[in-house]
Amino acid sequence: MQIQNILLTIDKISTFIGQAFSWLIVSLTFMITWEVVSRYAFDNPHPWAFDVMIMMYGTVFMMAGAYTLSKNGHVRGDVLYGFFSPRVQASLDLLLYFLFFIPGVFALAWAGYNFAGEAWAINEHSNVTADGPPVYPFKTILPVAGAFLLLQGVVEIIRCVICIREGEWPSREQDVEEVDVKKLKEMVHVKDEDIAALDRFVVAQEGAHSSAHGGAAK
């Protein structure tokens, strides 16, 4: 139980960070709108705006990585995966975490640390425009995002080990979920037979309505 509490605590941290940085999407939306109006309505474009938009989008993308992983929301090809037992799923995930995830994310964090250090040392600015915005704050996001993603990856590895031992996946921190058609039917207590009966009723009503109009026309 204590291990589970630790896992859920880290889930909450990843969730808080992902949700906090998601507000950059609102800022990005307003900034794009403002730049379009300024450019085309007032003929006053800002050369640095494009660079800032790209950095804001990249920040959201990277800082949402651990949050998405904590919700098991990353895209996976689960055509066969969904038919496997939880133990087989956990074994495959555990193997892939050690083969690809851990080396890749560790490389991201390490390389990002070096990139950020060099950027701060030289006071790096974007060279896309003559007076580009500073790049070093954005490059600092690389090691930070890598560290949080690596931490959440350790949590997922522990979950895999627990699942292999106990035969079922441990619980996760609850958040907004995508509702598929099957879940939606269960939520509103609707069966396929009810939908089919409703379709037949609608078709019958349309047929009766058409017949009534046809008789009136004659």
In this predicted model, what pLDDT tens digit does every residue of 85-105 receive, in sequence order? Answer: 889 999 999 999 999 999 999
| Closest listed residue to residue 97, CA positions, set 67, 71, 69 | 69
With beta carbons less than 8 A apart as the criterion, state whether 163 and 87 touch.
yes
Q: Range with the lowest mean pLDDT among 137-141, 180-184, 191-195?
A: 180-184
With beta carbons less than 8 A apart as the criterion, state whether 128 and 51 touch.
yes
pLDDT at 209: 66
pTM of the model: 0.73
Q: What is the 3-state secondary structure (H, E, C) of 49-99?
A: HHHHHHHHHHHHHHHCHHHHHHCCCCCCCCCCHHHCCHHHHHHHHHHHHHH
With beta carbons less than 8 A apart as the criterion, state whether 96 and 160 touch.
no
Cα torsion 63, 66, 72, 76: sign: positive
Position 79 confidence tier, pLDDT thresholds 50, 70, 90: confident
The C-alpha angle 89, 93, 94, rounded to 5 degrees, equals: 115
The mean pLDDT value of the chain amounts to: 84
Does position 55 have pLDDT exceeding 60, yes or no? Answer: yes
Q: Range with the lowest mean pLDDT among 15-19, 49-53, 144-148, 169-173?
A: 169-173
As given in the structure block, the two tokens for residue 213 are: 């109009």
